């Protein structure tokens, strides 16, 4: 597949997603968010390409990258086409050389299931419990200078975001606390700037819920997305609005997941 074909496939996937939501079919959004949770370092356009070509993909890498991991691509397997940036030197308006993206090219990656060889460690698969992901998320929130507190009553809510402060309802189990904290942190990252205050409350809530779903799904939790069908009313099948919304979701989810991965936990003390 060539670059132009990949771009066309991405555009058609986005249009089909918008049309599916307008027709009341929210399963397409869930499929895309599932892909995003597994590939949060990728742009939302590449997530669309992966979801369209191989929705069951769990981990992708290039042919040579798999070889370095002790695995080889099975004979006859067809690659997943994504767009990779071409980085190089270019001159700015004042004639100074700077590094930047010169363009994009089509590259092919392969899913783990398309390869064979050495077993790979899997640190993200959990069975309904966030494990140390919750502690890492709490640390990440603190590293951003956001105050985290707990309250007995929050007027029926599990959490609230107040611009530099997040409060969670006391007594939530770990899975609920993890998902709720991710939701409120998404609000802090996406919706506190002046240019975002024009977004409707519905859009803000659904974007935060989608980010929380991606973050929770990446930690092995399930059942986090409750209102995806409201995207139908929210965007009414408008690809431009949907593109902007998905871009915000992808950026916030990627930032949170990358922040969680970067946290260093204190080792457990040795028992006497």
Question: Is residue 109 located within the same domain as residue 130?
Answer: no
Cα angle 70, 73, 75; round to 5: 135
Residues in the chain: 272
Considering only residues 128 and 33, tell me which one the structure prediction assigns the higher pLDDT. Answer: 33
Q: In the predicted model, is pLDDT for residue 258 greater than 50? A: yes
What is the per-residue pLDDT for 225? 59
Same-domain check for residues 84 and 172: no
Q: How far apart are CA 264 and CA 143, in angstroms?
A: 12
Region 168-175: mean pLDDT is 88
What's the pLDDT at 269? Answer: 53
Q: Please check whether residues 208 and 139 belong to one and the same domain.
A: yes
For the chain, give the percent of residues with pLDDT over 90.
Answer: 24
Residue 263 confidence (pLDDT) above 80:
yes
- Domain shared by 154 and 209, yes or no: yes
> The tokens of 148 are what?
């985290």
Report if residue 95 sits inside a domain: yes
Residue after which a domain boundary falls, among 60, 89, 117: 117
Taking 50 as the threshold, does the pLDDT of residue 272 lie above it?
Answer: no
For residue range 83-127, what is the model confidence (pLDDT) as tens digits?
887 766 777 677 777 766 677 888 899 999 999 998 875 433 333
Is 144 a member of any domain? yes
**Alpha-carbon separation of residue 15 from 8, 154, 231 (angstroms):** 11, 39, 14
Q: Which pLDDT value is given to residue 234? A: 52
The pLDDT of residue 2 is above 70 = yes
Q: Which is more confidently placed, 269 or 167?
A: 167
270 pLDDT above the threshold of 70: no
In a domain, 77, yes or no: yes
The domain in which residue 230 lies consists of 123-262
User: Are both 127 and 237 inside the same structural domain?
Assistant: yes
Q: Give the C-alpha separation, 143 to 181, whole Å.
A: 14
**Does 250 map to a domain?**
yes
Residues 166 and 202 in one domain: yes
Work out how many domains the chain is built from and give that number: 2
Q: Which residue has the higher pLDDT, 3 or 70?
A: 70
pLDDT bucket at 135, cuts 50 / 70 / 90: very high
- Count of helix runs (H) and strand runs (E) in the chain: 9, 8
- How high is the pLDDT of residue 226? 55
| pLDDT value of residue 111 | 94
Residue 181, pLDDT score = 94
pLDDT at 61: 87
Mean pLDDT across the stretch 53-67? 88
pTM above 0.75, yes or no: no
Q: What is the dihedral of CA 18, 255, 42, 195, to 10 degrees?
A: 40
**Per-residue pLDDT for 228 more than 50?**
no
DSSP character for 40? T
- Backbone CA torsion sign across 33, 263, 180, 123: positive
Give residue 131's pLDDT band: very low, low, confident or very high (50, 70, 90): confident
């Amino acid at each position: 597949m060539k670059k132009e074909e990949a771009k066309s496939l991405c555009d058609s996937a986005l249009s089909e997603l918008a049309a599916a939501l307008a027709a009341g079919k929210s399963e397409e959004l869930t499929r895309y968010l599932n892909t995003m949770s597994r590939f949060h370092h990728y742009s939302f356009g590449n997530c669309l390409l992966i979801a369209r070509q191989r929705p069951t993909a769990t981990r992708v890498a290039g042919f040579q990258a798999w070889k370095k991991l002790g695995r080889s691509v099975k004979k006859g397997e067809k690659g997943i086409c994504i767009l990779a940036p071409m980085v190089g030197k270019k001159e700015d308006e004042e004639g100074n050389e700077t590094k930047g993206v010169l363009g994009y090219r089509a590259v092919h990656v392969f899913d783990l299931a398309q390869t064979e060889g050495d077993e790979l460690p899997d640190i993200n698969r959990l069975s309904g419990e966030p494990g140390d992901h919750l502690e890492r998320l709490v640390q990440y929130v603190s590293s951003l200078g956001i105050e985290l507190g707990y309250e007995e009553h929050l007027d029926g809510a599990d959490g609230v975001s107040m611009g530099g402060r997040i409060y969670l309802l006391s007594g939530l189990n770990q899975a609920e606390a993890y998902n709720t904290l991710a939701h409120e942190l998404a609000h802090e990252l996406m919706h506190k700037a002046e240019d975002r205050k024009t977004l409707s409350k519905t859009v803000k809530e659904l974007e935060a819920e989608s980010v929380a779903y991606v973050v929770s799904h990446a930690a092995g939790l399930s059942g986090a997305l409750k209102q995806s069908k409201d995207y139908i009313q929210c965007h009414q099948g408008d690809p431009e609005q949907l593109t902007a919304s998905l871009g915000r979701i992808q950026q916030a989810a990627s930032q949170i997941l990358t922040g969680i991965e970067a946290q260093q936990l204190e080792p457990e003390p040795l028992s006497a």
